[in-house]
């Protein structure tokens, strides 16, 4: 390629900036690369922290009857180890760390579709981590395992559990916004000429993973929300004391948490494929087949979750159905592995660090995948479930499977991100320490599992055949991993002492990120691309055809302005989360209900104050955000569809809202059908619901009209329409609160499952009315302050789409709670 971007300015000035300057920069940035780096840094820290906790576990289990970590303390360390590794390392690193950094670069664009939403999402993610850490000092770590099974969560350390539930919900919200943003970016913003079928395979992986998140994350949200509500208010769908079904918790949880393992796997498989193609100097073997396999994995992985519950006692027919789907999901996964091998096969393989990690992955993952298939066989699973065989399986696919591809990605893109190489020799030491360390740590655990050692126990007796030896070996392995981890950190730090030598395309890669400078300038590319994309390897094709890049004057490029308000909005949700975890609601006692405020402790009162404080901060920040323009100067946006980015992002996000309500409603319908949730004699008034339906449907019509008016430049009519919609929403809420107050005093939700379901689902809908109303208030405010004109419609389009959703959900609610 003949044209390269000039070296970015900021790398020269970076050293001179103070720490606070840098932090402020990252708080306000809308740059997808910096946001990606934030995710990557937190994830690497997460791995280290989670790993240190794992070491504590291994030290305790090195020999029989140790006393380093006993009982609850052990369970706390175990829970934190797993939760940190999953939610703050493996899930965010691939999808949002590498994803944010490289998706726009690979698509040849300057940023994601909604840059400020991206800032908000990353800080929400960090807020959730801060909340988890605050929880350690205020209530202590939960001690129930990362699965948070019911009814374990109802015993003992409830504050520790509930803060975690709030953190999971915040984390999930950030995750969903990020996923919707990626999907919108892919659909709306690719370099001109790059069709979907010419996207790099990593971009496809992100697309598929984002969709998977949007479809299924509602399961985790539902599980966390219900756990929280039962702890804080006694609202339950699981409590067997009132006819609830505890296993329903597991259905909700695994409905997400099985797909979550593919959320971990898919982005990394994408990285693996990029590495394979570049390092073998070949096109991908079966690009299209790979894409179909990814999509097949997305579909099938939504219907295999019951394999985590074979031993729970669900009907046999269901078990068999889920066994079959579990076996089926191995097929596209296997196809992907064969594709990787096929890509490497016969290539002039460049044996550098990324290649080592890739080959290590293929080798290890085969073992882990096949033991996964063995667990999918019901009779075998009955024998080994809850044993170390399972522990060995999932570390095999995660630690010395997927995480190896994470390392491949780190080494592969390190020169792009930093302009520097990591040392190959040191890297090799890192690789072999991880390889041998993992085998030594986890392969013995397969045998331990077969010998009957159960998981989630803090100790074991001496005298069981080979248990002591195998456990000891496992602990030695873990220390090799520690050594490997230290070597990795050292390699990273050392590389910064070297000069910037990487050049734009150090490995001779074929995708667009390799045309930006290393590290890339803020604007990514100081050139336009040729518009023909014969294959998914444009650089190869263009080289062959003699196509060149067209230089662009960087001064003519406009980027979104920095803004502190997305950060502040995320911060307000941290305050809110803190208040909800430790404040007002905490005063609930199952025996007596809410206790008087006056009796509460000081820290509790402070947290309550924080909760109330969070609301003005939230609204102030959000309105400030909506009131500042994304770009300092008017910029012509190009998008590939006729829909603007706001609409596109919202359309994708709504999938997750539909999924959340669908999951909760499915739970209720199930409880109703099996006769567990019987409506009380006195039910909420159908006439009030009918009136409310009328109000909401009208409001949907009104906002639609307002949208049309704004589009056609009839500003004052549009404003009036928005005002009327808000008014109707408010009237709806007043009726709803009236009804809740009436119905809440007539009978007790802690005594009646139907009523409990009613308050959970209808209450959640009420919350959505508030959110939707806030959403409408934003364009109203924009219209009032003259931020809208014929060409710029502010956030009216997504707000109105969301409002229609809330409306449709209400119709469903009327059907199942009022009419049925």
Would you tell me which residues interact with ligand HAS (CB under 6 A)? 45, 48-49, 51-52, 54-55, 57-58, 78-79, 81-82, 85-86, 89-90, 145-147, 261, 264-265, 307-308, 326, 329-330, 333-334, 337, 366, 369-370, 372-376, 381, 385, 390-391, 393-395, 397-399, 402-403, 441, 455-457, 474, 478, 481-482, 485-486, 489
- Which token pair is 561? 């302005």
Half-sphere exposure of 355 (CA within 13 A, CB side): 16
323 φ/ψ angles, rounded to the nearest 5 degrees: -65, -45
Per partner kind, with CB cut-offs from 5 to 8 A, the member of ligand HAS, Cu ion, none near residue 330 is: ligand HAS
Residue placing its CB nearer to ligand HAS in the complex, 28 or 306: 306
CB of 238 to ligand HAS, least distance (A): 19
What does residue 302 show for φ and ψ, rounded to 5 degrees?
-75, -10
Nearest distance from C-beta of residue 351 to ligand HAS, angstroms: 23
Q: Cβ 265 to ligand HAS, closest distance in Å?
A: 4
Q: In 439-569, where do the E strands start and end?
A: 527-528, 550-551
Indicate the residue among 84 and 191 with the shorter CB distance to ligand HAS: 84
Closer to ligand HAS at the Cβ: 51 or 779?
A: 51
Q: How far is the CB of 388 from Cu ion (least distance, A)?
A: 17
CB of 785 to ligand HAS, least distance (A): 45
Q: Residue 352 carries which DSSP code?
A: S
DSSP symbol at 305: G
**Of residues 258 and 352, the one with the C-beta less far from Cu ion:** 258
The alpha carbon of 178 is separated from its chain's Cα centroid by a whole number of angstroms, namely 7
Instruction: Find the shortest distance in angstroms from Cβ 260 to Cu ion.
Output: 9
User: C-alpha dihedral over 176, 182, 184, 188, to 10 degrees?
Assistant: 180
Partner that binds at residue 441, options Cu ion, ligand HAS, none, CB closer than 5 to 8 Å by kind: ligand HAS
Among Cu ion, ligand HAS, none, residue 669 binds (CB under 5-8 Å by kind)? none
Out of ligand HAS, Cu ion, none, which partner does residue 654 contact, by CB within 5 to 8 A per kind? none
Q: How many CA atoms lie within 13 A of 234 on its CB side?
A: 17
Which of ligand HAS, Cu ion, none binds 296 (CB below 5-8 Å, type-dependent)?
none
Give the C-alpha separation, 535 to 750, whole Å.
61
The least CB distance from residue 263 to Cu ion, in Å, is 12
With respect to ligand HAS, which residue has the nearer C-beta, 90 or 664? 90
CB of 261 to Cu ion, least distance (A): 6
Look at residue 481 and give the partner it binds from ligand HAS, Cu ion, none, a contact being a CB closer than 5 to 8 Å depending on partner kind.
Answer: ligand HAS
- Choose between 82 and 559: whose C-beta lies nearer to ligand HAS: 82
Choose between 372 and 667: whose C-beta lies nearer to Cu ion: 372
- Residues near Cu ion (CB under 5 A) are 258
54 binds, among ligand HAS, Cu ion, none (CB under 5 to 8 A by kind): ligand HAS
Tokens of 204: 């496809």
329 binds, among Cu ion, ligand HAS, none (CB under 5 to 8 A by kind): ligand HAS
Residue nearest to Cu ion (CB): 258
Distances (CA, A) of 671 to 38, 298, 368, 679, 809: 43, 28, 37, 11, 19
Instruction: For the CB of residue 172, give the shortest distance to ligand HAS in the complex, in Å.
Output: 17
* Strand partners of residue 588: 594
Q: What minimum distance in Å lies between the beta carbon of 264 and ligand HAS? A: 4
DSSP string, 156-209: S-HHHHHHHHHHHHHHHHHHHHHHHHHHHHHHH---TT--GGGS-HHHHHHHHH
3-state secondary structure of 350: coil
Q: How many CB atoms lie within 10 A of CB 586?
A: 25
**Residue 589 bridge partners (DSSP):** 593
Cis peptide before 519 (omega within 30 of 0): yes
Which residue number, 58 or 787, has a Cβ lying nearer to ligand HAS?
Answer: 58
Would you say 198 or 258 has its CB closer to Cu ion?
258
Residue with Cβ nearer ligand HAS (255 or 810) = 255
| Assigned token pair, 24 | 């402020």
Task: Report the sign of the C-alpha dihedral through residues 678, 256, 42, 511, in that order.
Answer: negative
DSSP 816: I
- Could you tell me how far CA 250 lies from the centroid of its own chain? 19
Give the largest CA-CA distance in the chain. Answer: 84
């Amino acid at each position: 390629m003949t044209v390269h971007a000039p070296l970015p300015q900021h790398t020269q000035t970076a050293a001179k900036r103070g720490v606070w300057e840098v932090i402020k920069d990252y708080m306000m940035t809308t740059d997808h690369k910096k946001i990606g780096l934030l995710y990557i840094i937190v994830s690497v820290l997460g791995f280290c922290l989670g790993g240190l906790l794992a070491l504590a576990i291994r030290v305790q289990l090195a020999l029989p009857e140790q006393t380093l970590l006993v009982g609850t303390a052990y369970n706390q360390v175990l829970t934190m180890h797993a939760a940190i590794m999953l939610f703050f390392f493996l899930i965010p690193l691939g999808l949002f760390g590498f994803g944010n950094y490289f998706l726009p670069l690979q698509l040849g664009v300057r940023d994601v579709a909604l840059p400020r939403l991206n800032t908000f999402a990353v800080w929400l993610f960090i807020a959730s981590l801060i909340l988890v850490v605050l929880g350690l000092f205020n209530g202590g770590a939960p001690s129930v395992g990362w699965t948070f099974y019911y009814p374990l969560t109802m015993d003992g350390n409830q504050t520790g559990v509930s803060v975690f539930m709030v953190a999971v919900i915040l984390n999930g919200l950030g995750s969903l916004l990020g996923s919707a943003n990626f999907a919108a970016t892919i659909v709306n913003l690719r370099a001109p000429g790059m069709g979907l079928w010419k996207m790099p395979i990593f971009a496809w992986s992100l697309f598929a993973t984002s969709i998977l998140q949007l479809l299924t994350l509602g399961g985790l949200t539902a599980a966390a929300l219900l756990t929280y509500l039962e702890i804080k208010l006694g609202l339950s769908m699981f409590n067997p004391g009132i006819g609830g079904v505890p296993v329903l918790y597991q259905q909700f949880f695994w409905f997400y948490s099985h797909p979550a393992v593919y959320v971990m796997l898919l982005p990394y498989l994408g990285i693996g494929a990029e590495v394979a193609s570049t390092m073998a100097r070949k096109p991908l073997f079966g690009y299209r087949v790979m894409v179909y396999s990814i999509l097949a994995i997305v579909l099938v992985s939504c219907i295999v979750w019951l394999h985590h519950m074979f031993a729970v006692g669900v009907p046999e027919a269901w078990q068999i159905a889920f066994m079959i789907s579990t076996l089926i999901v191995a097929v596209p996964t296997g196809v992907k592995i064969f594709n990787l091998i096929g890509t490497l096969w016969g290539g002039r393989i460049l044996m550098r660090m990324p290649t080592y990690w890739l080959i290590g992955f293929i080798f290890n993952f085969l073992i882990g995948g096949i033991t996964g298939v063995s667990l999918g066989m019901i009779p075998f699973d009955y024998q080994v479930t809850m044993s170390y065989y399972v522990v060995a399986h999932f570390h095999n696919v995660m630690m010395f499977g997927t995480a190896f591809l994470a390392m491949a990605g780190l080494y592969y893109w390190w020169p792009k991100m930093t302009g520097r190489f990591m040392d190959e020799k040191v890297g090799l030491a890192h690789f072999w320490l991880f390889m041998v360390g993992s085998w030594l740590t986890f392969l013995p655990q397969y045998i331990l599992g077969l010998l009957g050692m159960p998981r989630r126990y803090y100790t074991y007796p001496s005298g069981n055949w080979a248990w002591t030896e195998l456990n000891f070996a496992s602990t030695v392995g873990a220390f090799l991993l520690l050594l490997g981890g230290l070597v990795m950190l050292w390699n990273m730090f050392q590389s910064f002492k070297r000069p910037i030598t990487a050049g734009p395309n150090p490995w001779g890669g074929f995708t667009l990120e390799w045309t930006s400078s290393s590290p890339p300038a803020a604007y990514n590319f100081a050139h336009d691309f040729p518009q023909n994309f014969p294959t998914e390897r444009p650089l190869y094709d263009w080289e062959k055809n003699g196509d060149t890049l067209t230089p662009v004057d960087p001064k003519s490029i406009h980027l979104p302005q920095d803004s502190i308000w997305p950060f502040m909005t995320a911060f307000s949700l941290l305050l809110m989360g803190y208040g909800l975890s430790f404040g007002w609601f905490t005063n609930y006692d199952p025996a007596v209900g809410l206790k008087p405020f006056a009796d509460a402790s000081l820290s509790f009162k402070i947290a309550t104050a924080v909760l109330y404080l969070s609301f003005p901060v939230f609204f102030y920040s959000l309105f400030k955000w909506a009131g500042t323009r994304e770009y300092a100067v008017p910029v012509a946006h190009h998008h590939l569809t006729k829909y603007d980015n706001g609409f596109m992002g919202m359309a994708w996000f709504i999938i997750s809202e539909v999924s959340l309500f669908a999951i909760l409603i499915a739970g209720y319908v199930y409880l109703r059908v099996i006769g567990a949730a019987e409506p009380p004699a006195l039910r909420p008034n159908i006439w009030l619901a009918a009136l409310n339906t009328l109000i909401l449907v009208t409001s949907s019509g009104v906002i639609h009209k307002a949208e049309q008016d704004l589009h056609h430049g009839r500003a004052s009519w549009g404003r009036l329409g928005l005002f009327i919609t808000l008014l109707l929403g408010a009237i709806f809420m007043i009726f709803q609160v009236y009804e809740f107050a009436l119905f809440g005093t007539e009978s007790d939700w802690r005594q009646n499952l139907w009523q409990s379901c009613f308050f959970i689902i209808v209450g959640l809908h009420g919350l959505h009315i508030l959110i939707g109303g806030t959403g409408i208030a934003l364009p109203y405010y924009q219209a009032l302050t003259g931020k809208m004109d014929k060409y710029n419609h502010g956030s009216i389009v997504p707000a109105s789409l969301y409002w229609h959703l809330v409306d449709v959900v209400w119709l469903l609610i009327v059907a199942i709670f009022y009419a049925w």
